[in-house]
Amino acid sequence: MLKFMTLVTAVAGLAVALAVSASAAADSTPNAVGLLFETKHITGVTPGTELVYKFERKPSDEKLLGPGFNDDIKIKVESEGAVPGKKNVVIEMFSGERARDPNRITDLDGNPMLIVFLDTALGHFQQLAGGDRAYLKNRFSTSFAKDAKIAAVKVSYKGQDVDGYRISVTPFANDPSRAKMRGYQNVEFSLVVSEKIPGHFAQMISNFANQEKTAPTLEERTTLDGVGDVK
């Protein structure tokens, strides 16, 4: 896995690729790329705010996939950026022995939790299923731009239900090379967003299921503190 200090630089190309892929998609409201990559998620977040995301890792076989654990990922909005509407943020991933060095990023308006999620999801898929990273990234990009399923949902946030959307993709289900993916071609990634929630991202789930009953599986779930049921 990439060291966290290089994370944003390493995955910037993924966000760009997704945005470029969207240019060929038919216009609709809402659309996945608009909700995820074109919305200014943290422009309205007050400096001094800390967004705490509860991370859960659930492997079926810890000997093969490493231990399961629960920990926090924190997005701290420190100050206004040099560009109006943008923010300077600090990202802190995990605690104790798992902790990565804090990463300070200037002049953001999108929530960096999205990039953390996408890079982790893509990296795990490559580890489990194999394949060339550039090829997999392209398929991932195309799936958000063309094949994403979007459903209106209600999100419980601090005791109140707010409107939101669940965006789901199965990027490799129809891939020409799916027979080579060790049974992981039906992995699903879903993100729940709501403009009523600080930072917009309520929950992100990677479900690395396998069509073979004996194969290891992995679920990773990241939920903003204060978010309850999504229905």
Q: Is residue 54 part of a domain?
A: yes
The predicted structure's pLDDT at residue 7: 44
pLDDT level of residue 75 (50, 70, 90 thresholds) = very high
Give the CA angle between residues 163, 166, 170 to the nearest 5°. 175
Question: Is position 231 within any domain?
Answer: no
Report the side by side order of strands in the sheet with 201-208.
103-108, 87-93, 69-80, 50-59, 218-224, 201-208, 188-193, 160-169, 149-157, 227-230
Domain count, the chain: 1
pLDDT-derived band at 11, boundaries 50, 70, 90: very low
Residue 80 lies in a domain: yes
Cα within 13 Å of Cα(126), Cβ side? 17
Range of the domain at 205: 4-226
Q: How far apart are CA 58 and CA 43, in angstroms?
A: 33
Whether 124 is in a domain gets the answer yes
- pLDDT for the residue 141: 85
The predicted pLDDT at position 17 comes to 52
Residue 29, Cβ density class (10 Å: 0-12 exposed, 13-18 middle, ≥19 buried): exposed
* Domain membership flag for residue 184: yes
Q: What is the mean pLDDT of the chain?
A: 89
> What is the predicted pLDDT for the residue at 195?
97
